[in-house]
């Protein structure tokens, strides 16, 4: 089934206790697409400025990612993010943020993409997410991500978005911020009342918690990773594998939802083992399947 992603393409500078990566490729749509392409063809919609140093055709060479929705906007600058991690690297610290092209109009969804049925609105301004959604004919399964700066500064727009989606994916800090409650079970229930049928709260090294459309909870630990170099993009890779798997089986009921969360979990574990996309870009689907089998064995009782 057709899978479309729209979100940011960024120039990142990341500092962790294990090193620094300057002016590397990043952005929610990029990490998502790399992960989703292990499972399903991806239709990519995004915009960069004419200063973008990356050739996305080369980045996704050999992967089933259709870049017909990529716009290079002349006279504009590409989104930039500078962040750092400390201690256990559970939280990113934003040291610099330049929205640049993301503060402008959204890219146009190509005509051949408008029949997309599975849609991921990767992290970007909620009003842009809604404008992009409005360009689609009849999406069947809509998933969205967000971040703290939109919760703090665009709360009204974000609430409108929540009423239009099927699944909300966010981290535990964002869930607490959005609901003003520290109890994640309560936060998930409150977020479901806002519109989404399913809420997935990512807990970093502690895995994730899911409240599904049957009002049932599902929890899964993270895949144990011995070396964490750079957590950037792990959440977007989680979403990519999650959506890629669901689009490949064309099902979204509880059984398949849980399998999708497991695939998201192990795919995210690959991202964090290297800076930027160096680790996930170097592996094949076999590695993901091996980790999936290991995670299943670890969680049986």
Structure-block tokens of residue 239? 């979403």
Answer left, alpha or beta for residue 63, where phi above 0 means left and psi between -120 and 50 means alpha. beta
What is the number of domains present in the chain?
1
Confidence of residue 114 (pLDDT cuts 50, 70, 90): very high
pLDDT number for residue 267: 97
Task: Please provide the DSSP assignment of 215-265 as one string.
Answer: S-EEEEPPPP-S--S--TTHHHHHHHHHHHHHHHHT--SHHHHHHHHHHHH
Q: What is the CATH number of the domain that holds 41?
A: 3.40.1190.20
| Spatial CA neighbour of 209 closest among 265, 163, 166 | 265
CB 123 within 8 A of CB 158: no
Query: Which domain does 24 fall in, by range?
Result: 3-298
User: What pTM does this model have?
Assistant: 0.94
Distances (CA, A) of 252 to 88, 140, 212: 34, 10, 10
Residues 65-112 have pLDDT tens digits of: 999 999 999 999 999 999 999 988 888 889 999 999 988 998 999 999
Name the average pLDDT for the chain: 94
Distance, CA of 52 to CA of 9 (rounded, Å): 9
**Stronger pLDDT, 147 or 1, i.e. the higher one:** 147
pLDDT number for residue 123: 81
Does residue 208 carry a pLDDT above 90? Answer: yes
Does residue 242 carry a pLDDT above 80? Answer: yes
| Spatial CA neighbour of 34 closest among 2, 9, 71 | 9
pLDDT number for residue 127: 86
Distance, CA of 121 to CA of 128 (rounded, Å): 9
Residues 116-172 have pLDDT tens digits of: 999 999 887 888 899 999 999 999 999 999 877 788 888 888 889 999 999 999 999
Task: Provide Rg for the chain, Cα atoms.
Answer: 18
**Tokens 């201690």 label which residue?**
87
pLDDT number for residue 240: 97
Distance, CA of 163 to CA of 132 (rounded, Å): 15
pLDDT number for residue 158: 87
Share of the chain above pLDDT 90, in %: 82
Residues 21-73 have pLDDT tens digits of: 999 999 999 999 999 999 999 999 999 999 999 999 999 999 999 999 999 99
CB 272 within 8 A of CB 225: yes
Q: 101: helix, coil or strand?
A: helix
Structure-block tokens of residue 263? 């695939």
Residues 254-295 have pLDDT tens digits of: 999 999 999 999 999 999 999 999 999 999 999 999 999 999
């Amino acid at each position: 089934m057709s899978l479309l992603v729209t979100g940011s393409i960024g120039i990142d500078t990341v500092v962790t206790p294990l090193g620094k990566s300057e002016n590397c490729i990043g952005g929610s749509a990029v990490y998502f697409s790399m992960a989703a392409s292990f499972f399903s063809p991806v239709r990519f919609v995004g915009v960069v400025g004419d200063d973008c140093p990356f050739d996305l055709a080369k980045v996704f060479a050999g992967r089933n990612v259709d870049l017909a929705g990529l716009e290079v906007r002349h006279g504009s600058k590409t989104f930039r993010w500078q962040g750092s991690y400390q201690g256990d690297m559970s939280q990113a610290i934003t040291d610099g943020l330049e929205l640049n092209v993301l503060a402008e109009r959204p890219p146009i969804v190509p005509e051949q993409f408008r029949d997309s049925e599975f849609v991921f609105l990767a992290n970007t301004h909620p009003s842009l997410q809604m404008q992009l959604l409005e360009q689609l004919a009849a999406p069947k399964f809509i998933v969205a991500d967000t971040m703290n700066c939109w919760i703090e500064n665009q709360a009204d727009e974000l609430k409108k978005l929540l009423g239009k989606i099927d699944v909300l994916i966010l981290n535990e800090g964002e869930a607490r911020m959005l609901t003003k409650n520290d109890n994640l079970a309560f936060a998930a229930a409150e977020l479901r009342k806002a519109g989404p049928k399913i809420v997935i709260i990512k807990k970093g090294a502690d895995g994730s918690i899911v409240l599904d459309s049957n009002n049932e909870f599902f929890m899964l630990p993270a895949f144990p990773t011995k070396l964490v170099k750079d957590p950037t993009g792990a959440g977007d890779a989680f979403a990519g594998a999650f959506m890629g798997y669901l689009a490949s089986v064309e099902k979204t009921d509880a059984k398949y939802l849980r399998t999708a969360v497991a695939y998201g979990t192990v795919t995210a574990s690959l991202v964090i083992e290297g800076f930027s996309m160096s680790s996930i870009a170097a592996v094949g689907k076999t590695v993901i399947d091996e980790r999936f089998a290991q995670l299943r064995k670890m969680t049986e009782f």
